[in-house]
Amino acid sequence: MIEIRPFEQKDWTATWQIIRPVFRAGETYPFSPDITEKEAHQAWVEMPSATFVAVDGTLEVLGTYYIKPNQPALGAHVCNCGYIVAEKARGKGIASEMCKHSQREALSRGFRAMQYNLVVSTNEGAVRLWKRQGFEVVGTLPKAFRHQRLGLVDAFVMYKQLQT
Amino acid sequence: MIEIRPFEQKDWTATWQIIRPVFRAGETYPFSPDITEKEAHQAWVEMPSATFVAVDGTLEVLGTYYIKPNQPALGAHVCNCGYIVAEKARGKGIASEMCKHSQREALSRGFRAMQYNLVVSTNEGAVRLWKRQGFEVVGTLPKAFRHQRLGLVDAFVMYKQLQT
């Protein structure tokens, strides 16, 4: 049983444990692999409009996502989200649950569309998952991501209209 | 004769005169039409890596552009630029000159590609100009821009690899 609820400051230690290895790996998010805990808190908690955590029946934090406007005022009806699931909790549908939750959250906040700006092309699981959630690859950015293991790889812009 | 040189603080008044009506119109840039001078200075001068001005033989400022990384660390080899030409100086090739200058500047700063994130589809002159400069429309974002006269319109992601 997964529950998704707003992030509280007491969740930071668990959240940092989840997002740190993903940032350190440098294979899916553009943040520096050497990002500090303070910078990560800024990026994941302070800059976004809201941050959420996914917790299981024992209240352990197993995933997290943020939501924010993707552009200033005249583009602020399109939101951007980022999602990370704890390594040990992958393959259980938590990312899908967070994606669905974020779409409802986006609508309730008045957003009309959701855009992912830099979906790393080699992150095939994520691409498949977002497609299942109704997102389309609307653009390919050649060599736009410096993958820490594979070098320069393409990235996708993915987009979904939530209201038409 | 147009010369393009780095922005200096003494250029701000002239630069603000050029960019203000464009922001106020709300037809090409996502900034709020009500953006304050201070916010505009932050967005155009403080946040970017560098800002430039195009001046004519009488040293009047007729255009301006900024350059900055489009993403954090692992996407920071792709830059983003924004260009604005004074209304009275349009149609003289100043935007093209600034675009060429920005590509040289990008290379000298180590960028490998340039990306425009939100080219308003109704801004046909700009789209044509960037295409002539070798940029491709790599994606279309449905209804991603709230045009102040036309309502929600599509926007393009445009991209050019400067090094392959």
Cα distance from B77 to chain A (closest Cα, Å)? 8
Residue with tokens 């040289």: B104
Mean pLDDT of chain A: 97
pLDDT score, position A164: 64
ipTM for the assembly: 0.96
Cα distance from A145 to chain B (closest Cα, Å)? 5
Mean pLDDT by 10 residues, chain B (164 residues): 96 98 98 98 98 96 98 98 97 97 98 98 97 98 98 98 84
Are A30 and B72 an interchain contact pair (Cβ–Cβ within 8 Å)? yes
Are B71 and A112 an interchain contact pair (Cβ–Cβ within 8 Å)? no
Residues of chain A in Cβ contact (below 8 Å) with chain B: 26, 29-33, 35, 43, 71-78, 112-113, 115, 117-118, 138-148, 152, 155, 157, 159, 161
pLDDT score, position A1: 85
In tens digits, what is the pLDDT along chain A, a chain of 164 residues? 899 999 999 999 999 999 999 999 999 999 999 999 999 999 999 999 999 999 999 999 999 999 999 999 999 999 999 999 999 999 999 999 999 999 999 999 999 999 999 999 999 999 999 999 999 999 999 999 999 999 999 999 999 999 76
The string of pLDDT tens digits covering residues A115-127 is 999 999 999 999 9
Residue A77: its chain B contacts at CB < 8 A?
146, 152
Q: What's the number of CA atoms in the CB half-sphere (13 Å) around residue B139?
A: 26
Provide the token pair at A11.
């969740």
CA B104 to CA A94: how far, in whole Å?
45
pLDDT score, position B164: 64
pLDDT score, position B114: 98
Helix (H/G/I), strand (E/B), else coil: A75:
helix
- Chain A's closest residue to B113, CA to CA, is A144
Are A78 and B141 an interchain contact pair (Cβ–Cβ within 8 Å)? yes
CA A7 to CA A19: how far, in whole Å?
14
Cα distance from B140 to chain A (closest Cα, Å)? 6
Are A115 and B144 an interchain contact pair (Cβ–Cβ within 8 Å)? yes
Are B83 and B106 within 8 A, CB to CB?
no
| Interface with chain B: mutation pick from A23, A141, A159, highest number of B CBs within 10 Å | A141
Cα distance from A37 to chain B (closest Cα, Å)? 16
Whole-structure pTM value:
0.97
Strands B136-147 and B151-161: antiparallel
User: Rounded to 5 degrees, what are φ and ψ at A131?
Assistant: -60, -45
Nearest to A67 by CA among A56, A85, A83: A83
Residue B77: its chain A contacts at CB < 8 A?
146, 152
The string of pLDDT tens digits covering residues A14-39 is 999 999 999 999 999 999 999 999 99
pLDDT score, position B163: 78
Residue B117: its chain A contacts at CB < 8 A?
71, 117
